[in-house]
Structure 1
């Protein structure tokens, strides 16, 4: 049996243990608090759709809430720059996109971050083609009719996108290079606002990523004229590809990934990569991706890094040759 002196000593030792752990500088296991996922576009677009699915299921895997934080602007570079400057502690993630890392830095003449040096690129959550959709009251009902109409009304046909520097902006610019119809780009601060104006008829057509356009197509709010994939989307088998309609130069895909600030500890990077692969195997996520015409990726962080570098190498000359501007 403990005597009084031994009992007091033992009690004091237990009581002082947390303080000793704090003063020793021992870090709490990651993650020990909610995580922020910065989305560089406004709510309602594909980036936001993918981000919220990732936040829900990755949060479950990590045992912490993941809070989606929309920071649109400057072709996705505003939100991207915020994460580049964030503490590398695993509590600020970026929903990285083709525009913010591979297109906008060239389109805007530079960025205040290094797309490769300021990040560790961890995972690709989904890839998907784009789709050209039209207001239901717009005359042309097929892609061929749209091209003929645009040529007959040179300089008078506008198209909406989620913003300057988006892959959809470049897709529109490439179409303009091919048909020389004087198409007018109308950039928005996200796909959501752009789709609202397309449905309302304020702009006749919109280039959008298929996942964000999918529910509006299915609801009959817009007409799908063509998709930009190599093959038809299983989610919309009746919608032709631009390639099969005679425009192979318009094959284009968007991608959405998870990146973290450079110098994030390797164990955290590895944990996110592992759990993201588990997320992409979830039946609910697979089903959702199929419904919206998206596809998951099994790339490792090293493969993602090489992929994003290849996208920068691919899109930089395209932006320069297109003559596209932020406006």
Structure 2
């Protein structure tokens, strides 16, 4: 055999040998229950989106997809667990704007993972605006009331969110800067506990993602006073936007499916395909509409590029806001 041909054959053989373990893992996947980590407490938008996806994937994959809530440190605790997991497709995370765009800048060196390189970004699931809600018995009927009351209180108004590092936390900071008011951020370990506190009148108001607040608004257990969408949301046409009330704020959250870096391409491709099939069903689209969200439509490559752009977008915003995780 000529030397050049022999060398090419050796290279091809070596490449095939390297690919075999990855291909073998992909063919055997899933090997039992898949764990889907939610880096927030139950009841919030991330949790709701995760459970919808988990139910659909379980049916399509033929194995249980178990949702595991691991809140803490602005969604970085659960995300770090997944970054450290084996890249075999058995452990995934419901990545989101907090865990992969805001918290890395907010927590600095305390975050050990790289939002882009430490993960395999698989599929965008849902995007949605934020909504501000108050207890229905509150004297706050709109943003003008909120600003007026905040200016009469030492330290400003107590404002809750699903946790330090969430997009809703940063929205509170940006609004307070624009309005020229002070506020005391009251972070909870998820939107569910924060909403419970608002309903019980333990805190005056909260900034929440629309999917987790939608049911409470419809039930009348809270009253919505502002929406962060560019225009009024079709599901809640009576809720005015920030812009309508004189504050040029537009903010959108996102929730997606990611795994550890280095996952085999066949597993990533199948997970993306099955996730897109789940969120394309009439049942899922109806549920998303009820939640006030829009289903994702990115390829895995587009989603990876999107996460990188979100990191670049939010890091300077966090620095300029002066927000901290403390």
Q: Same fold (TM over 0.5)?
A: yes
Contact 1:128 1:255 in 2 (8 A): yes
Pair 1:26–1:266, CA change in 2 (3 A) = closer
1:149 CA displacement:
2.1
Q: Distance in 2 between matches of 1:26 and 1:106?
A: 38
Aligned equivalents of 2:157, 2:31: Cα separation in 1: 52
Structure 2, gaps ≥5 residues long? 1-22
2:127 is paired with a residue whose SS is: strand
Distance 1:315 1:50 in 2: 23
Is 1:264 matched with 2:263? yes
Asked if 2 retains the 8 angstrom alpha-carbon contact of 1:133 and 1:222, the reply is yes
SS in 2 for 1:153: coil
TM-score of the aligned structures, taking structure 1 as reference length: 0.90
Match of 2:203 in 1: 203
User: Could you say what the CA RMSD is over the residues aligned between the two structures, in angstroms?
Assistant: 1.3
Query: Rg bigger for which structure?
Result: 1
Task: Measure the CA separation in 2 of the matches of 1:256 and 1:26.
Answer: 30
Q: Separation in 1 of the partners of 2:118 and 2:305?
A: 15
What are the equivalent positions in structure 2 for 1:30-179 lying under 5 Å apart? 30-110=29-109, 111-153=111-153, 155-179=155-179
1:286 matched residue in structure 2? 285
The aligned counterpart of 1:302 is 301
Q: Counterparts of 1:193 and 1:72 in 2: how far apart (Å)?
A: 12
Deviation digits for residues 97-119 of structure 1 (CA, Å, limit 9, x no counterpart): 11111111111123111111111
Matched residue SS, 2:93: strand
TM-score normalized by structure 2? Answer: 0.90
Measured against aligned partners, the alpha-carbon deviations of 1:247-269 in whole angstroms (never above 9, x if no partner) come to 12x21011000001111100000
After TM superposition, the structure 1 = structure 2 runs for residues 234-245 of structure 1, keeping only pairs within 5 Å, are 234-245=234-245
The residue that corresponds to 1:4 in the other structure is none
Shift of 1:290: 0.2
Distance apart, 1:154 and its partner CA: 5.1
Gaps of 5+ in 1: 1-24
Aligned to 1:8: none
Which residue of 2 is the match for residue 5 of structure 1?
Answer: none
C-alpha separation in 1, matches of 2:100 and 2:81: 13
SS where residue 311 of structure 1 aligns?
helix
